[in-house]
Amino acid sequence: MKPSRVTMGAATGLTLALTLAACGDTDSEAEEPMDSETMQEDSESMLEDEHDHDAGTDDDDEYDDDEMEDDDAESSDLSAVMPESTGDPFADARTAAEHMPHTGGTFATGFTNALDLSGEPESEAAELRSEVTALFQEHVYLAAIAVATAYHAGADSEEFELAAETVDANSVDLADAVGELLGEEARESFLNNWREHIGYFVDYAIAAEEGDQEGMDQAVADLREYTDGVGMFFERQTDGELDAATVTESFNGHVDTLAAAVDSLAAGEADAFTNLKMAADHVVEGSGAMSEGFVNAAGLEGDPNDDASELRSALTANLNEHVYVAGIAVFVAYTDEDGTESDAFAAAAEVVDDNAVELADAIGELAGDEHRDPFLELWRDHIGYFVDYAGAVAEGDEAAAEGALMDLDQYRYEAGEFFEEISGGELPADDITEGLGMHVSTLGGAIDSLNEALVQNSEN
């Protein structure tokens, strides 16, 4: 992938970039993120290997004829993984991310049954906690997307308007969830005030970019007033099941962590990615307490804090984070003039791999340490295949793009067999394979839209 400078088209591509995956070390024994030079070399090596494979080299004796025939049979029909793109980069990005909570629920159910965990991962309470976790986490990442788009394209640009529409789609979904639990009046009140607090964050971001301390202070004051109000709102609407002081404290933490991420984005600092992850982690933690109050107020079935609910929420958060955080590294590789050699790329790639290691640690705790490293190797492999696809479509290399899709198609079969084995059959291979097909097709569609907005438009 040849990096390009940030342009107006590149700003539009930021949202889709947050749905891509960054290349990680495929050595299962590695514990630390790879440096950017090594990551670039491995990505190029994978592309060269794919080229050799497509060219039909005669010196590859890894498989015998029967094994090759089996592989071809599995990979020849790519209909299950063909990218689905609407042409709207922001809508496609959110579609790719929205697939992950369902995947988290599937895995939580399988592991709960396999390990005989307490609780019910499909209870009303568990489902609510997963939904609240995903929506609040998504809010943080989409808000950052809008801020970055405003910085690159301008707050009065069409690109920022599109980004803001995506943020508002998340706001409406949050309000709908509140309305289902607490009634239509609560829905409208929440939505109006939630939109106001997003406006205050936009005010803060603009002031931060301009170095306007007075404007920043005023935006923070407005946000503090909002946090006081939202605490009282939820205490009133839940008849005290959500304590006002507890809610306000949690939302003040949201203001502090997201403001820190905005500060580093405005300054162009490499720790912006780490700060953004911290902001998202904070709302994930707060979602547990919010969910408990909602469940009690609405009289829902189940316990949002039992082992199964905790597992479902944690997996949802980890998988959502994989989609959003990993893609930042690809965006930096495309847009920073130093590409994969930049400090920003190295910082983003480190956060990507932190997420991969966290997921592997979770698998190890659930299924045994002996399964941790094999999962990590598989996971990093599939990230690399998405990088191959992103590079191929950017270069207009249809053969290489198809090769990457074939690798992703083969990966989903390998992953299906892996999870069926470690779960004692509670996670059927066919179910995992089918779900991963949807992941590939939606993420591939997001990549296609990113390519059009970020790479192709920047060349016109």
Rounded CA separation 20/155 (Å): 25
What residue type is assigned to position 187 of the chain? R
- Token pair for 444: 């591939």
What residue type is assigned to position 283 of the chain? V
Tell whether 272 is covered by a domain.
yes
* Spatial CA neighbour of 260 closest among 144, 359, 158: 144
Give residue 20's pLDDT: 36
- Token pair for 4: 């390009």
- Report DSSP state, residue 425: T
My answer on whether 178 and 255 are in the same domain is yes
- Token pair for 433: 């394979």
My answer on whether 98 and 165 are in the same domain is no
My answer on whether 240 and 366 are in the same domain is no
My answer on whether 91 and 187 are in the same domain is no
My answer on whether 155 and 293 are in the same domain is yes
Tell whether 436 is covered by a domain.
yes
Q: How confident is the model at residue 392 (pLDDT cuts 50, 70, 90)?
A: confident
Rounded CA separation 271/290 (Å): 29
My answer on whether 166 and 34 are in the same domain is no
Q: What is the pLDDT of residues 239-254, one digit of tens each?
A: 999 999 999 999 999 9
Tell whether 63 is covered by a domain.
no
Radius of gyration of the chain, Cα coordinates, nearest whole angstrom: 22
Tell whether 70 is covered by a domain.
no
Break the chain down into helix, strand, coil percent, rounded to 5.
80, 0, 20
My answer on whether 264 and 348 are in the same domain is no
What average pLDDT is seen over the chain? Answer: 83
Q: What is the pLDDT of residues 127-178, one digit of tens each?
A: 999 999 999 999 998 898 888 778 877 888 877 888 899 899 999 999 999 9
- Token pair for 212: 């306007």
Rounded CA separation 336/92 (Å): 23
Domain that holds residue 334: 1-53+80-119+322-460
Which of 272, 305, 338 marks a domain boundary? 305
Which range is most confident: 6-20, 145-159, 287-301?
Answer: 287-301
Long-range CB contacts (within 8 A, 24+) of 372-377: 373/28, 373/29, 374/28, 374/418, 375/418, 376/28, 377/26, 377/27, 377/28
Tell whether 7 is covered by a domain.
yes
My answer on whether 449 and 330 are in the same domain is yes
Q: How confident is the model at residue 49 (pLDDT cuts 50, 70, 90)?
A: very low
Which of 305, 331, 363 marks a domain boundary? 305
The pTM assigned to this predicted structure is 0.80
My answer on whether 111 and 147 are in the same domain is no
Tell whether 458 is covered by a domain.
yes
Instruction: Tell me the angle at which helices 372-395 and 429-450 cross, rounded to the nearest 10 degrees.
Output: 30
Query: Is the pLDDT at 29 greater than 80, yes or no?
Result: no
- Token pair for 178: 């509140």
DSSP helix/strand/coil, 138: helix
Tell whether 276 is covered by a domain.
yes
Q: How many CB atoms lie within 10 A of CB 420?
A: 19
Query: Is the pLDDT at 106 greater than 50, yes or no?
Result: yes
Q: Which residues of 300-336 are buried (b: 16+ CB within 10 A; e: fewer)?
A: bebbbbbbbbbbbbbbbbbbbbbbbbbbbbbbbbbbb
My answer on whether 104 and 130 are in the same domain is no
Query: Is the pLDDT at 61 greater than 60, yes or no?
Result: no
Rounded CA separation 375/378 (Å): 5
Instruction: Work out how many domains the chain is built from and give that number.
Output: 2
Which of 305, 340, 365 marks a domain boundary? 305
My answer on whether 166 and 236 are in the same domain is yes
Give residue 156's pLDDT: 86
My answer on whether 186 and 288 are in the same domain is yes
Tell whether 32 is covered by a domain.
yes
